[in-house]
Structure 1
Amino acid sequence: MENDFLQEFINQATKENETKIAQEKRKKHFQELGRKGGLKTKENKKLDKVISIRMTNSEYELLIRKQEKYPLKLSTYIRNVLFEKELKINEFKTDETLLQFGTHFKKITNLLRNREWTVFENKKEILVKIENVVDLIHQYLYSKIQKNE
């Protein structure tokens, strides 16, 4: 009877130990995959090197004034200037305005398609021209994206 109890206790302990080990392996597996079992993060874009420099107050104030023109953090601005990417910062403003124009043109077409705007005789011609402009905007932006890739 004691042997049965002892044998049963040992079997139960080994099963519990095996389940714990399996859970730990599963946990480690998902930790390797990434957070919450997702894909691994790309490590090449990680900014992990720190460089500190000294400058005078006037140099710092000049740098801050130049950086305030752009919606960027100071470190991002310095990195872009250092690697001569400052021109790309200005391109985003034109892209944003083009996207805003595109959305406004789409809103205008939606308004013209409404039944209340039957006053215009050349409504179809206006809709076609607006759609052509929106297509040109999209083609320009997509061509820029493809050039950057």
Structure 2
Amino acid sequence: MEENYLKRILIKTTQKKEQRINAEKRKKYFQEIGRKGGLKTKSNSQLTKVVSFRLTDMEYKDSIRESQKYNLRLSTYARLRYLEKTFKIKEFENDEFLLTYGNSFIRINNLLRHREWNMFENKKRIMDEIEEVLRLIRKYLYSKIDRDE
């Protein structure tokens, strides 16, 4: 009985140790890739020079508001504005309704694929038309991105 107890303790401790190691590996992995979906992180060796400039109170407040809108730090936002780079963080913000419609069409198409909806005689034609609309929405959005670049 004492031998079983020792085996269980040994197994339990090894499992805890493996879980801790896996958690550390996962944490390090996400530290390496940076923020998901955000701007690529820059190493300190790349950002070696400091540029400072003065702003009025109104300009400062506007800059803070804009940086919060894009979910950026003020320094990152100011750097992008100073270098006149385009903000590709919210590429599709202007076409939000179009994206919403596209998502709705995808859901309708998925619903039609289920067997409960076999009562429609023209189900295949409806699905083809939905896929055509989705293709046109994607084509419009990605052509807009290419045009902006």
TM-score, with length taken from structure 1: 0.49
Higher relative contact order (CA 8 A, sep 6+): 2
TM-score, with length taken from structure 2: 0.49
Q: More helix by proportion, 1 or 2?
A: 1
